[in-house]
Amino acid sequence: MAAHTSSGSKDAATEEVVQTICGLCSTNCGMRIRVKNGQIAKVAGDPTHPANRGRLCVKGAAIGELVNSPQRLRYPLVKTDKGFEQTSWDNALDFTARRLLEIRERYGPEALVLSRGGPSTEECFGAFSQLVAAYGSANVTAPSHLCHWPNLIAFNLVHGDGAGAEVRDAKCVVVWAGNPPDTNRLGEGGLVYGRHDRAIPEAKKRGANLIVIDPVRTGMAAMADQWLQVEPGTDAALGLAMLHVIINEELFDAEFVARWTVGFNELRDHVRGATPKWAERITKVPAESIARAARTYARAKPASMVIGNGLEGHTNAVDMARAAAMLVAVTGNLDVPGGNVFFPTAELARYPTVRPNARRIGADTYPLLPNAPFPSLVDAILTGKPYQPRAMLVAHANPVLAFADEKRIRQAISKLDFVLVLDIFRTATAELADVILPAACDFERVGLREYTSSEGAFVSLRRKVVEPPPECRPWYDVERDLAARMGLDSQYPWRTGEDFVNYRLRPLGLTVEDLEQKHFVYVTKPPEYRKYLKEGFRTPSGKVEFYSQQANDLGYGPLPVHCEPAESHVSKPHLTSRFPLIGTSRRSGMYIHTRYRNLPSLRKREPDCLVRIHPDDAGQRGIKDGDLTVVESPVGSVSVKAKVSLETRPGTVVMDYGWGNPWDGQANVNILTSDEARDTISSTTSNRRFLCEVTKA
Ligand SMILES: Nc1nc2c(c(=O)[nH]1)N[C@H]1C(S)=C(S)[C@@H](COP(=O)(O)OP(=O)(O)OC[C@H]3O[C@@H](n4cnc5c(=O)[nH]c(N)nc54)[C@H](O)[C@@H]3O)O[C@H]1N2
Ligand SMILES: Nc1nc2c(c(=O)[nH]1)N[C@H]1C(S)=C(S)[C@@H](COP(=O)(O)OP(=O)(O)OC[C@H]3O[C@@H](n4cnc5c(=O)[nH]c(N)nc54)[C@H](O)[C@@H]3O)O[C@H]1N2
Ligand code: SF4
Ligand SMILES: [Mo]
């Protein structure tokens, strides 16, 4: 429904309202954008769109600044002895094709790596996938080891699938390591009232009990009935102690446990010693609070649990989420209304080229992870083992800033023979490239998003709103032109962006034209609940697995355990005196990851990268609010301003994540984080925890 409010002869002013979705984060809110003479004139939330029902965040409101930013990349650039020089698309693509073909000839297809970004639009999943598969490489990497997958692997092991929180009918909501007011996260479903950032306060108003488990006093924590201020990375101990209380006090759902689970006796034995007192020593959460939260969650029926990304930047990530998943099952809150539900999903067409039968780096060590873990690729580049990657395509990603230990990542990327970056800005990663290509941004190309919800799965079109700058091109055009130069274009059953979206939509019986008419279309029924009664669970045994034979056979613990975080004074006592503080990182509601700090209206709201420090720690160090400080960890050091704050407890400091691009002039927290220790199941590095000291600069 593109309402043409006025249109006239060729020369007359044109004005229309385009219904589309925002591409900046994975919430993908519905938008109505007024376009005047080919320019974005006004942005509003679409009140009819189920993802946001009219609401937009500050970032969405700033898309005009994004599209028209003077810092946009506007021409292809190639690196020469004199630095980057502007070149033509033909030159840039010819050069890239030649280099990639030489590398394949000389070293084989596995030498090529595709580095993708965190999930927000189809670009992050799609760009260059088809090309890299057709080339013959399976080395696709993404932030998967830090995002979505550690939690999903845990839920897969226990429940056989990801079960999203359905907040709508819950009497108790546990928000475990997530911050929906800032991240606007859809969750894996339950967006009947919009999103968790809205659904949770509404549930609370209805009288639901809100339990927040977070080391930081976030907006969500401030709203909670019970806030468990857990020590970062120790949540497995907390979860095991909650299981201890629930099993010991017989608060579990005995019928569900008896009929639909395996390994309950093993679990009972396993958590016998995991008393709240034991967990208090590890987590710093008072034993009484742990017991109270366990009782509240177990007694409220139904209760739903929102699992956030805060569990994922830790060296025991999967087991922390496994303990949480077991709480869902043991209380009988699995696949019931208002619990954690297996939501229906939209089945889009897969890419036509199947993944090649090539060796994927890290596949032997991390078989449950779908991609090559970035840290394993860094190892391979720096050591040549198991073999030497030579080239990298980077699309919609900024690995230099996003992953742990910036210094090591720079070393690795600099060692490659060829690096291509497709971005809209000249990022920290782009500075290391041989070729930088200017992309059309989300609002300048057609795209697609599928969503889940309590009303069923639906799809929505991201309509093109404005023309890209003359030399900025959408990824599907870039990819196809490059493929043609490499003799791979027979692998592309689509010619244009619209063809591509139509190809993806085919299994749903929908087309771009349909979605232009309707904007969003439900493609499944609302979820059925207790589907296990008919089909069982998707685990090897068909039941919920407290004891996982599969995990055991893969050499992991069959039951989740608490492991001391790698970056701790217990694991590394020799570092205690030099680095007495624990650092963690904070995601900002104002920005997405490393993006958008060059948009003036956002930057005005949050101009600096800050380290938040408790008044006690600040006082001992003579640090006052606003002072410039040096934060030093065993792997690096940065200068940042201090914010003296009660958001954190004594001994723990919180530093903003996402800074460090050339234009923002501030420090990347991942200069301080280490990639040395990794979760054995998911390869997660300790991005959310590092040892440090803060001194006045
Ligand atoms: N310490 C710490 N580290 C973390 C995290 C943390 O919380 N703490 N979070 C982790 C998580 S969950 C994730 S998902 C990752 C994120 O890691 P990334 O996804 O690598 O980070 P982004 O900053 O989102 O990078 C996206 C890039 O795409 C570019 N871009 C924007 N729009 C377009 C477009 O339309 N086309 C193209 N081609 N490019 C575009 C942006 O300019 C940006 O450079 O970081 C992880 N790292
Ligand atoms: N504004 C904005 N929105 C975003 C993004 C963004 O960068 N900016 N990124 C998008 C992406 S890719 C993702 S993955 C999601 C993430 O969205 P969420 O899952 O909401 O993740 P965070 O906002 O990082 O919140 C994680 C919370 O976990 C806490 N935490 C850290 N360590 C621990 C721990 O060990 N235990 C516990 N219990 N809590 C811990 C942190 O203090 C923080 O409050 O957001 C998406 N939305
Ligand atoms: S950036 Fe804001 S407006 Fe855009 S999808 Fe995310 S929450 Fe919605
Ligand atoms: Mo993420």
The DSSP bridge partners found for residue 613 are 644
Tell me which residues have their CB within 5 A of the ion that is ligand 4.
118, 147
Pair 195, 314: CB distance under 8 Å: no
| Each residue's pLDDT tens digit, 247-283 | 999 999 999 999 999 999 999 999 999 999 999 999 9
**Would you state the pLDDT for residue 264?**
98
CA of 28 to the centre of ligand 3 (A): 6
Amino acid at 526: P
Exposure pattern of 366-398 as b/e (b: 16+ CB <10 Å)? bebbebbbbbbbbbbbeeeeeebbbbbbbbbbb
| Each residue's pLDDT tens digit, 291-309 | 999 999 999 999 999 999 9
| Each residue's pLDDT tens digit, 482-507 | 999 999 999 998 999 999 999 999 99
Looking at the chain, the whole-number percentage of residues with pLDDT higher than 70 is 96
Average pLDDT over residues 170-176: 96
| Each residue's pLDDT tens digit, 644-654 | 999 999 999 99
**If pLDDT is split at 50, 70 and 90, which confidence band does 121 have?**
confident
More confident residue, 166 or 123: 166
3-state secondary structure 22-34: CCCCCCCCEEEEE
Looking at the chain, the whole-number percentage of residues with pLDDT higher than 90 is 89
**Would you state the pLDDT for residue 81?**
95
At residue 437, does pLDDT exceed 50? Answer: yes
Q: What is the DSSP string of 440-488?
A: P-GGGS-EEEEE--TT--EEEEE---SPPPTT-B-HHHHHHHHHHHTT-
At residue 621, does pLDDT exceed 80? Answer: yes
Closest CA to 604 of 106, 232, 62: 62
**Would you state the pLDDT for residue 418?**
98
Average pLDDT over residues 110-117: 96
| Residue minimizing CA distance to atom 13 of ligand 2 | 309
Cα separation, 640 vs 694, in Å, equals: 10
> Is any atom of ligand 1 closer than 6 Å to the C-beta of 592?
yes
**Would you state the pLDDT for residue 572?**
96
CA of 118 to the centre of ligand 4 (A): 5
**Would you state the pLDDT for residue 186?**
59
Average pLDDT, the chain: 94
| Mutational pocket test of ligand 3: of 32, 55, 184, 196, the residue with most ligand atoms within 8 Å of the beta carbon | 184
Average pLDDT over residues 211-228: 97
CA of 26 to the centre of ligand 3 (A): 8
Omega before 150 within 30 of 0, i.e. cis: no
Average pLDDT over residues 435-458: 94
> Is any atom of ligand 1 closer than 6 Å to the C-beta of 612?
no
* Strand duo 690-696 + 77-80: pairing: unpaired
Which class for 487: exposed (0-12), middle (13-18), buried (19 or more C-beta within 10 A)? exposed
**Would you state the pLDDT for residue 214?**
98
> Is any atom of ligand 1 closer than 6 Å to the C-beta of 313?
yes
Average pLDDT over residues 130-150: 95
The kind and range of the H/E element at 156 are helix 149-159
- Ligand 2 atom at minimum distance from 314 CA: 35
Cα separation, 334 vs 341, in Å, equals: 6
- Ligand 3 atom at minimum distance from 27 CA: 5
**Would you state the pLDDT for residue 390?**
98
What's the predicted TM-score (pTM) here?
A: 0.96
Pair 181, 314: CB distance under 8 Å: no
Omega before 201 within 30 of 0, i.e. cis: no
**Would you state the pLDDT for residue 9?**
46
**Would you state the pLDDT for residue 2?**
44
| Each residue's pLDDT tens digit, 582-593 | 999 999 999 999
Cα separation, 106 vs 100, in Å, equals: 10
CA of 177 to the centre of ligand 2 (A): 7
Closest CA to 480 of 99, 137, 127: 127
At residue 357, does pLDDT exceed 90? Answer: no
Cα separation, 436 vs 530, in Å, equals: 50
| Residue minimizing CA distance to atom 3 of ligand 3 | 60
**Would you state the pLDDT for residue 187?**
54
Average pLDDT over residues 378-407: 98
CA of 513 to the centre of ligand 1 (A): 31
**If pLDDT is split at 50, 70 and 90, which confidence band does 190 have?**
very low
**Would you state the pLDDT for residue 12?**
66
CA of 308 to the centre of ligand 2 (A): 6
> Is any atom of ligand 3 closer than 6 Å to the C-beta of 246?
no
